Chain A
Amino acid sequence: MEIFKADVVIVGGGGAGLRAAIAVAECDPKLKIALVSKVYPMRSHTVAAEGGAAGVKKPTDSFEYHFHDTVGGGDWLCEQDVVEYFVEQAPLELTQLEHWGCPWSRTEDGHVNVRAFGGMKIERTWFAADKSGFHILHTLFQTSIKYPSIKRFDEHFCVDILEEDGRCQGAVVIEMGTGEFTMIEAKSVIIATGGAGRVFRESTLGGIVTGDGMALAYRHGVALRDMEFVQYHPTCMPVTGLLFTEACRGEGGYLVNKDGYRYLQDYGLGPLQDKPKNKYMELGPRDRLSQAFFFEQQKGRTIEHPTLGSVVHLDLRHLGEAYLRERLPLIYEMAETFMGLDPAKDPIPVRPGVHYTMGGIKTDGKCAASLKGLYAIGECSSVGIHGANRLGSNSLTELLVFGKVAGVEAAKNAKSAAPGNSAALLKQAQAVEQRVMALKTKTGGSERISVIRKEMTQSMEDGCGIYRMEKTMQATCDKLAELRERFKNISIDDKSSVWNTDWLTAIELDYQLDVAQAMAHSAINRKESRGAHQRLDGYEQRDDVNFLKHSEAYYVAGAAPRIALGDVKITKSQPAARVYGAAGEKADQERKASHV
């Protein structure tokens, strides 16, 4: 086994991982950074983000507003002190990215422009056409090349983290091109492996979004927090799940049912608006919009498409081709190539799809996990800003703000921590190698990976969809337990060393099953409805008495996870009714009045 000695190892080369790497490098150029990614960093799923990143920009906006939008949008399950820090840092980080070359879209006078996004009171989403994530990721990746202390391990797959002396001290990775193992020793370990949405069937996510890092931390005793909160994005391409960004609605798109009726006005988001109006109608939060779809379907008012299933229409026609090509070029192309339709002439069939995991590795406000030396950032983490429902465009900003925090903290830790016991670590790493190799070399299995995966994703969709019920959630929990058993009996076709994706997929599936269990068990345990977790079996209301709490899932080897409840940090925003549209405006005014 190869050994590489670093000061900080970062697992994940997406927006979060790259930002952290740069932060460490800027803190102290002498610190050696190992940046591990199972794909070339610019292929990370941050690349797919379309809409943009939130940060106060306009003079009419304020940190206060951004704070309240976020906390209210999260149905009060946010760590409010962390949100405060977040909103204040956001504009600085977005400006930093501009200095690094990010081609943010601009106004005529050359300043950065902002657009409207769902659940946001004032336009504050910085965007680069509808390829914001792409530009953020490439800017970060290219900027990272400037720092010689960042040693990249591209196309290296992390199979475990190393824990010794109660501290996290490294990671074990496989070089995909050779199948060989490397132990990376480091005093600080940052996990930035992204979300886990691929445990569901129809999702907006890339194939790599398999929750690896979550499972790694989880198996080392770190809690996965708020895993039941899985965001459905209301406007996805049927079957494939590909995303039509919220910016489609931010720019003025309508959602209509089979009668051409803008049904959102029936779901507390009205009254009807012609022009996009923040927090009204199509600019309501994602959970509400996805839920409205569910009820429209129940009422038989969705469009039944022969091959696509139940859909509603995203209507952009009134915006005109020129405007659409300028503001939503990617969307335009996607509609043309993938669906063979022209959004300037035809409405686009859409329906909700899994998009984002609000929960993740539990950390404090400085991104530190309960295991010393371990940090988590980005979608795989739960630093506490998304609560029960993330607002669109908060996540890309999160990558930057907390990527930097984690980098700085990890650097500090690396400088102060005592050197590890290399011999003991190597022994551990060798044990990991043996365990992982056994998965490949074992013979006689009869279960196909793809079959188990298919059953898992279907079952997650059935049990942990937009609306949930005890019975179906239980069925999902049972199914997952069964699949865990069957996984032991898998067979891997490919026994080779070079580029063995068959084997790596199996390791991913193993991770996914763990994460899926954490989600399903957290969900069944939450007997209320809040944000993205909505129940139809007698728990339709939010229950602040019993459940203004974080769920924390703890790994139990060979059994279902243990679910505990943790406190929520509330500073200045007391839980209130979560209302949008005209009712929301009224509530806003009342809150203001009571403050004066």
Chain B
Amino acid sequence: MSKRRPYVRPMGGWWKKNPFFVEYMVHEGTALFVAAYAVTLLVGLVRLGQGEAAWNGWLEAMKSPLSIVFHLVLLVAIAYHAITWFKLFPLTMPPMVVNGKRLEPNVVVGGGWTAAVVVALGLLAVVWRIAQ
């Protein structure tokens, strides 16, 4: 009979053991903040549907210091999501070929970041236009 007795090591706490994995968990963790923001917006939307008074109440709540701090945290977390999202492009996207040459990973990432900044400023501009 075989004397083999393969030993399987437990996986517990794997994500704490390597800085690479810690970073991974942090960027995965941004999802909590994305969800929190979506819920905040959803509440706003519901309030909007309930009429002007309800909506204004929501707007007031958004002005509370707690809310401001909360949104600052959201801003950081979601910005981090945006940064890492594009940083993963060389991994998650097919290679981009321009003139028969593959784009370097850092060009791809840089391109993604630039696009994100342009879109964000565009959004701000549109909102600003509408608000006038």
Report A's interface with B, CB cutoff 8 A.
177-180, 496-498
A interface, over-half SS: loop
Does B4 touch A at the CB level, under 8 Å? yes
In angstroms, Cα B45 to Cα A587, docked, is: 94
Docked complex: B1-40 residues within 8 A CB-CB of A? 2-5
In angstroms, Cα B3 to Cα A180, docked, is: 9
A residues near B5, Cβ cutoff 8 Å: 498
The 9 closest A-B pairs by CB, nearest first: A178-B2, A497-B3, A498-B3, A498-B4, A178-B4, A177-B4, A178-B3, A180-B2, A179-B3
A182 to chain B, nearest CB (A): 13
In chain B, what residue has the closest Cβ to A179? B3
B interface, over-half SS: loop
In angstroms, Cα B3 to Cα A177, docked, is: 9
A-B contact pairs, 11 of them (CB 8 A): A177-B4, A178-B2, A178-B3, A178-B4, A179-B3, A180-B2, A496-B3, A497-B3, A498-B3, A498-B4, A498-B5
B38 to chain A, nearest CB (A): 47
In angstroms, Cα B5 to Cα A177, docked, is: 10
In angstroms, Cα B2 to Cα A58, docked, is: 56
B81 to chain A, nearest CB (A): 36
A residues near B3, Cβ cutoff 8 Å: 178-179, 496-498
B128 to chain A, nearest CB (A): 50
Q: Size of chain B's interface in residues, with CB distance under 8 A?
A: 4
A500 to chain B, nearest CB (A): 10
B103 to chain A, nearest CB (A): 19
Besides A177-B4, A178-B3, A496-B3, 8 other CB < 8 A contacts? A178-B2, A178-B4, A179-B3, A180-B2, A497-B3, A498-B3, A498-B4, A498-B5
In chain A, what residue has the closest Cβ to B2? A178
B residues near A178, Cβ cutoff 8 Å: 2-4
In angstroms, Cα B5 to Cα A178, docked, is: 10
In angstroms, Cα B2 to Cα A177, docked, is: 9
In angstroms, Cα B4 to Cα A9, docked, is: 26
B3 to chain A, nearest CB (A): 5
In angstroms, Cα B4 to Cα A496, docked, is: 11
B residues near A180, Cβ cutoff 8 Å: 2
In chain A, what residue has the closest Cβ to B3? A497
In angstroms, Cα B5 to Cα A497, docked, is: 11
In angstroms, Cα B27 to Cα A57, docked, is: 54
B residues near A498, Cβ cutoff 8 Å: 3-5
B residues near A497, Cβ cutoff 8 Å: 3
In angstroms, Cα B4 to Cα A178, docked, is: 6
A residues near B2, Cβ cutoff 8 Å: 178, 180
In angstroms, Cα B3 to Cα A178, docked, is: 6
B94 to chain A, nearest CB (A): 20
In angstroms, Cα B14 to Cα A546, docked, is: 71
In angstroms, Cα B46 to Cα A508, docked, is: 78
In angstroms, Cα B5 to Cα A180, docked, is: 15
A2 to chain B, nearest CB (A): 11
In chain A, what residue has the closest Cβ to B5? A498
A175 to chain B, nearest CB (A): 9
A1 to chain B, nearest CB (A): 13
In angstroms, Cα B3 to Cα A498, docked, is: 6
A122 to chain B, nearest CB (A): 32
In angstroms, Cα B40 to Cα A433, docked, is: 75
In angstroms, Cα B2 to Cα A180, docked, is: 8
A109 to chain B, nearest CB (A): 15
A residues near B4, Cβ cutoff 8 Å: 177-178, 498
In angstroms, Cα B5 to Cα A496, docked, is: 13
B residues near A179, Cβ cutoff 8 Å: 3
A228 to chain B, nearest CB (A): 44
A440 to chain B, nearest CB (A): 13
In angstroms, Cα B4 to Cα A497, docked, is: 9
In angstroms, Cα B27 to Cα A302, docked, is: 57
In chain B, what residue has the closest Cβ to A178? B2
A153 to chain B, nearest CB (A): 15
In chain B, what residue has the closest Cβ to A177? B4
In angstroms, Cα B35 to Cα A553, docked, is: 79
B7 to chain A, nearest CB (A): 11
Query: Mask for B84-104, Cβ within 8 A of A = 1, else 0?
Result: 000000000000000000000
A502 to chain B, nearest CB (A): 15
A496 to chain B, nearest CB (A): 7
In chain B, what residue has the closest Cβ to A499? B4
A498 to chain B, nearest CB (A): 5
B78 to chain A, nearest CB (A): 41
A437 to chain B, nearest CB (A): 14
B residues near A177, Cβ cutoff 8 Å: 4
B112 to chain A, nearest CB (A): 28
In angstroms, Cα B5 to Cα A498, docked, is: 9
B79 to chain A, nearest CB (A): 38
A208 to chain B, nearest CB (A): 22
A231 to chain B, nearest CB (A): 40
In angstroms, Cα B42 to Cα A333, docked, is: 55
In angstroms, Cα B5 to Cα A189, docked, is: 33
A315 to chain B, nearest CB (A): 31
In angstroms, Cα B3 to Cα A179, docked, is: 9
A179 to chain B, nearest CB (A): 7
A535 to chain B, nearest CB (A): 52
In angstroms, Cα B36 to Cα A570, docked, is: 86
In angstroms, Cα B2 to Cα A559, docked, is: 38
A262 to chain B, nearest CB (A): 37
